[in-house]
């Protein structure tokens, strides 16, 4: 039974489409069960991050039927009824395996070579494994992907330069403010990405960190680690009079900051420049705030511009990494494995 990948990513769709398809962690087990109950997959893993939503499935369906039915499954999950063209892609073997290996290695990321995606992929796999939605087929493929990611990061220079969304966000801050020294920073949402971003800001000279999170205990813990200060989630707006930079990355299904809320806060700040970096999907900050004077809003797609600058630094390593991945995928397909594991290449549908 072949491995199929279907989904959409930053390469095929804008953030305003991706955020509609994002699946919260708490809803993934139910979605996985629905996939299997509908007969669309015998094994399945769902990966949902700020840059991609992808289904990795071992399916009994023929490729074309699989594409049509799995595509409809994604549309139904998102309750998405607007026209789509090439936003959703599907890959079959060996391209699906190569894609999985590229994702794990950071080769398909917005920031080439970034490391955060490997942790996100492991988390997605562990969640499916714990709920018994994987089997011999996906277990072998994902374990191989993790090993290849380690090999590529050890044996190549693909991580040269900034290698995470958080570090790129910091570089953006340094372009808006000539220096981060004495800048006051607020982090809304105390997840892994926020924590890494906060640490990068401090290492570049930020004066202090204020952390706000729906779980105040988590905010207190992170603030203690960063020698910062925690505020209750409902009280963060009261800190805006002294803030220069906001990094927002919550799991909220709606905007936590909109123009109506920000406009009076800007008056209290006497319209000093304010940099807002929204790295959440769905987005935390309403795009309309960009129309306010002295407010600079950047979302996850805007970070692509900076990421492209680092692409040139790693171009010479891409071919080397892709050669490794093709050889590993071919080896996995040729190696004796569970029923249905075949080296035969099947067509890819859509775009990667």
The tokens describing 242, both together, are: 């002294």
Tokens 């090999």 label which residue? 151
Separation between Cα atoms, residue 282 and residue 300, nearest integer Å: 10
Compute the residue count for the chain: 352
Radius of gyration of the chain (CA): 21
Task: Given the residues 41, 50, 165, 280, select the one marked as catalytic.
Answer: 50
Reduce the secondary structure of the chain to three states and give it as a string. CCEEEEEEECCCCCHHHHHHHCCCHHHHHHHHHHHHHCCCCCEEEEEECCCEEEEEEECCCCHHHHHHHHHHHHHHHHCCCCCCCCCCEEECCCHHHHHHHHHHHCCCCCCCCCCHHHHHHHHHHHHHHHCCCCCHHHHHHHHHHHHHHHHHHHHCCCCCCCCCHHHHHHHHHHHHCCCCECCEEEEECCCHHHHHHHHHHHHCCECEEEEEECCHHHHHHHHHHCCCEEEEHHHHHHHHHHCCEEEECCCCCCCCECHHHHHHHHHHCCCCCEEEEECCCCCCECHHHHHCCCEEEEECCCHHHHHHHHHHHHHHHHHHHHHHHHHHHHHHHHCCCCCCCCCCCCCCECCC
Q: Is 321 a residue of the active site?
A: no
Q: Is the peptide bond before 5 cis (omega within 30 degrees of 0)?
A: no
Judge whether 269 and 295 are in contact, CB under 8 Å: no
The tokens describing 191, both together, are: 């997840």
Catalytic residues: 50
């Amino acid at each position: 039974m072949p491995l199929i990948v279907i989904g959409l990513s930053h390469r095929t769709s804008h953030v305003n489409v991706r955020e509609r398809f994002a699946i919260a962690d708490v809803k993934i087990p139910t979605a996985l069960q629905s996939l299997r109950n509908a007969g669309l997959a015998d094994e399945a893993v769902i990966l949902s991050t700020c840059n991609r939503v992808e289904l990795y499935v071992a399916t009994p369906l023929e490729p074309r039927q699989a594409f049509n039915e799995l595509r409809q499954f994604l549309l139904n999950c998102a309750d998405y009824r607007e026209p789509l063209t090439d936003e959703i892609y599907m890959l079959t073997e060996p391209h699906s395996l190569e894609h999985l290996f590229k994702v794990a290695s950071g080769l398909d990321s917005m920031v080439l070579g970034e490391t955060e995606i490997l942790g996100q992929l492991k988390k997605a796999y562990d969640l499916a494994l714990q709920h018994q939605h994987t089997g011999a087929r996906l277990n072998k493929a994902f374990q191989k992907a993790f090993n290849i990611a380690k090999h590529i990061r050890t044996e190549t220079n693909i991580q040269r330069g900034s290698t995470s969304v958080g570090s790129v966000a910091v570089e953006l801050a340094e372009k808006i403010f000539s220096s981060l020294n004495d800048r006051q920073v607020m982090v809304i949402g105390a997840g892994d990405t926020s924590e890494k971003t906060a640490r990068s800001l401090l290492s570049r000279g930020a004066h202090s960190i204020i952390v706000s999170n729906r779980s105040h205990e988590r905010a207190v813990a992170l603030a203690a680690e960063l020698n910062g200060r925690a505020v209750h989630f409902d009280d963060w707006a009261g800190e805006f009079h002294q803030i220069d930079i906001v990094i927002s990355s919550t799991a909220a299904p709606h905007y936590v900051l909109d123009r109506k809320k920000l406009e009076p806060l800007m008056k209290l700040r006497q319209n000093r420049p304010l940099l807002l970096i929204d790295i959440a999907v769905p987005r935390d900050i309403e795009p309309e705030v960009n129309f306010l004077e002295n407010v600079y809003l950047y979302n996850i797609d805007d970070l692509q511009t900076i990421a492209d600058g680092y692409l040139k630094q790693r171009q010479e390593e891409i071919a080397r990494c892709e050669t490794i991945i093709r050889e590993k995928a071919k080896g996995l397909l040729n190696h004796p494995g569970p029923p249905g594991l075949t080296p035969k290449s099947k067509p890819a549908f859509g775009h990667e």
